[in-house]
Amino acid sequence: MKTDFLWGGAIAAHQVEGAWQTDGKGISIADVMTAGTKNQARKITDGVLPGEYYPNHEGIDFHGRYKEDVKMFAEMGFKCLRTSIAWTRIFPNGDEAEPNEAGLQFYDDLFDELLRHDIEPVITLAHFEMPYHLVKQYGGWRNRKMIDFFTTFAVTVMKRYKDKVKYWLTFNEINNQRILDNPLYSWTNSGILYAEDDDKLETMYQAAHYQFVASASIVIEGKKINPDFQIGCVLAATPNYPLTSDPEDILLAQREDDQQLFFTDVHVRGHYPKRFIKEWERRGYHFDMTEADVDILKAGTVDYIGITYYLSNTVSVRPEAERLNDELLGNETIVANPYVESTEWGWSIDPIGLRYYLNLLNNRYELPIFIVENGFGYADRFEDGRVHDQERIEYLNQHITQMKLAVEVDGVDVIGYTVWGCIDPISFTTGEMKKRYGFIYVDRDNDGKGTLNRYRKDSFEWYRHVVRTNGKSLR
């Protein structure tokens, strides 16, 4: 691995910071999501309601304890920390003319603390936390006005932190919203809850178009602020395997991959793939898409591709295949893969899928790739101040091994690797604490009880070793 390889960890503001109303912060879309479980979906409520429990309000109090946490990241030797800037700390409602100075100051302090420890901040601009006001007032990303609101926010923080942050990411997992039958994804990506009479697909593509234009505008504006900026996109990278050699299965898997890669195609190539233009014509879709938009997309292509990688999917049309009926994804073609195991939350464990997909992306785009999330959600056992999380070590070890093969054998240009939830965060999909990812255990449970004290798990020392040896020596 190159000596400047960016080993580190990843978190997102709304899943860790808490302090949901501190220093003038506004309500975000994450602040109206209740806690759920593996079997019970999080509710999205109409405002913050009394009697409901909203786990993101307190998070793990990273806002109050970041100095202690950054010190532990430094102890592990992190070269970088990926986190997001909570839009609502900077523009509490999203449509103000002037930013909130107290919010800006918080990130100045956080970034200074990181840099003092030689940890480079890698910053996501939109990680499921847009201002709730923009949903109520404007309909979220249904509305073209969002392009200006979001660009104003992005330009404000890019100017403010131009000498502190080099790596930026525009929209986290922008492709999640193609999962149309689970409201979680249209909500967190775009602030949209579909109405009965919505053509979901058409609405989704229109919202995505506005986001593509916003992302490209930010690339264009960002380069004016600091030509050294590296600005990337984020793809939730989930390989789709055909279950059998039935040509229908092969075509289905390719179609699933194409729908996912549609998003990186636009970010990287700066125009829409022909297959989708054909599909829109067939369906009679007419989008609000101007000539100026087309020029912006062309001019604002990304410098690198950020990916999050957790699992692979297997798909099939075959009637005998065992359907997973995955409630989270709502996709009936997803079937069990007899060759991989799954986590307690039903996510397949497929390290080779990471190598496969890195190669696929490299072949398609030939751009640097940053693995901005990979991690193992597990119900850790906390005993006498210790967590023996050998399962996490195994998972990460296997994935890093496959990443190294992609780099050293296949020649893929991977510039960094950040482990998701390096300190236990609130789970995004379920709102639980029980689904833990960290090297650092946080004493808090699903009901929000606990001291919030931090403890090093066994994986803490293991990852310190990985970083110190630049991934050379893995157990």
Contacting ligand BG6 (CB under 6 A), which of 186, 427, 446, 459? 427
Has 52 been annotated as catalytic? no
Q: Determine the interface stretch with ligand BG6 among 27-35, 55-63, 109-117, 425-433 (rule: CB under 6 A).
A: 425-433
* Binding residue for ligand BG6, selected from 12, 81, 208, 302, defined by CB under 6 A: 12
Number of residues in contact with ligand BG6 under rule CB under 6 A? 14
Which residues, at least 6 apart from 206, have a Cβ–Cβ distance to it below 8 Å? 142, 287, 288
One of 31, 69, 129, 173 touching ligand BG6 (CB under 6 A) = 173
Burial code of 401-430, b = ≥16 C-beta within 10 A, e = fewer?
A: bbbbbbbeeeebebbbbbbbbbbbbbbbbb
Is residue 428 at the binding interface for ligand BG6, with CB under 6 A as the rule? yes
AA identity, residue 11: I
Say how far apart CA 440 and CA 423 lie, in whole Å. 5
> Which of residues 37 and 137 has its CB atom nearest to ligand BG6 in the complex?
37
Helix (H, G, I), strand (E, B) or coil at 58: coil
Residue (236 or 358) nearer to ligand BG6, CB: 236
For residue 78, the tally of other CB atoms under 10 A from its CB is 26
Q: Which candidate in 120, 129, 173, 221 is catalytic?
A: 173
Q: Minimum Å distance from CB 223 to ligand BG6?
A: 26
Q: Is 59 in the site for ligand BG6 (CB under 6 A)?
A: no
Task: Report in angstroms the alpha-carbon separations of 403 from 253, 257, 411.
Answer: 23, 20, 11
Task: Name the residue whose CB lies closest to ligand BG6.
Answer: 429
Task: State the minimum distance, in angstroms, from the CB of residue 435 to ligand BG6.
Answer: 5
Among 91, 309, 420, 439, binds ligand BG6 (CB under 6 A): 420
CA dist., res. 333 & res. 251, Å (int): 12
Q: Which amino acid is at 247?
A: P
Answer yes or no: 322 catalytic.
Answer: no
Contact 167, 235 (CB under 8 A): no
Q: Rounded to whole angstroms, how far apart are CA atoms 371 and 378?
A: 20
Q: Least Å distance between CB 168 and ligand BG6?
A: 16
Position of tokens 């690339």?
Answer: 219
Spatial distance between the Cα atoms of 76 and 349, rounded to a whole number of angstroms: 25
- Closest CB to ligand BG6 among residues 173, 257: 173
Stretch that binds ligand BG6, among 63-71, 273-281, 387-395, 427-435 (CB under 6 A): 427-435
Stretch that binds ligand BG6, among 48-56, 192-200, 389-397, 421-429 (CB under 6 A): 421-429
Near ligand BG6 in 14-33, by CB under 6 A: 15
From the list 68, 71, 159, 162, the residue with the least C-alpha distance to 117 is 71
Residue 170, interface with ligand BG6 (CB under 6 A)?
Answer: no
Phi-psi category of residue 96: left, alpha or beta, with phi > 0 → left and psi -120 to 50 → alpha? beta
Q: Quote the CA–CA distance of 81 and 58 in Å, as a whole number.
A: 21
Residue 117 burial (CB count, 10 A): 15
Spot the catalytic one: 17, 120, 221, 373: 373
435 lies in the site for ligand BG6, by CB under 6 A: yes
The site string for ligand BG6 over 244-263 (x = CB under 6 A, - otherwise) reads --------------------
CB of 379 to ligand BG6, least distance (A): 12
For residues 16 and 85, is the Cβ–Cβ distance under 8 A? no
Rounded Cα–Cα distance for residues 175 and 14 (Å): 20
In whole angstroms, how close is the CB of 417 to ligand BG6 at the nearest point? 15
Question: Which one, of 125, 120, 81, 88, lies nearest residue 106 by Cα?
Answer: 88
Query: Which residue among 172, 177, 337, 402 contacts ligand BG6 (CB under 6 A)?
Result: 172
CB 382 within 8 A of CB 443: yes
Binding mask 367-406 for ligand BG6 (x = CB under 6 A): ------x---x-----------------------------
Residues from 303 through 322 that contact ligand BG6 (CB under 6 A) = 308
Distances (CA, A) of 341 to 73, 347, 358: 30, 8, 21
Tell me: does residue 175 bind ligand BG6 (CB under 6 A): no
**Which CB sits closer to ligand BG6, 33 or 236?**
236
| Min dist. Cβ of residue 127 to ligand BG6 (A) | 6
Question: What is the rounded distance in angstroms from the CA atom of residue 93 to the CA atom of residue 398?
Answer: 43
Decide whether 124 or 217 has the Cβ nearer to ligand BG6.
Answer: 124
Considering only residues 321-350, where is the footprint of ligand BG6 by CB under 6 A?
none
Half-sphere exposure of 22 (CA within 13 A, CB side): 16
Residues forming contacts to ligand BG6 in the complex (CB under 6 A) are 12, 15, 172-173, 236, 308, 373, 377, 420, 427-430, 435
Please give the positions annotated as active site.
173, 373
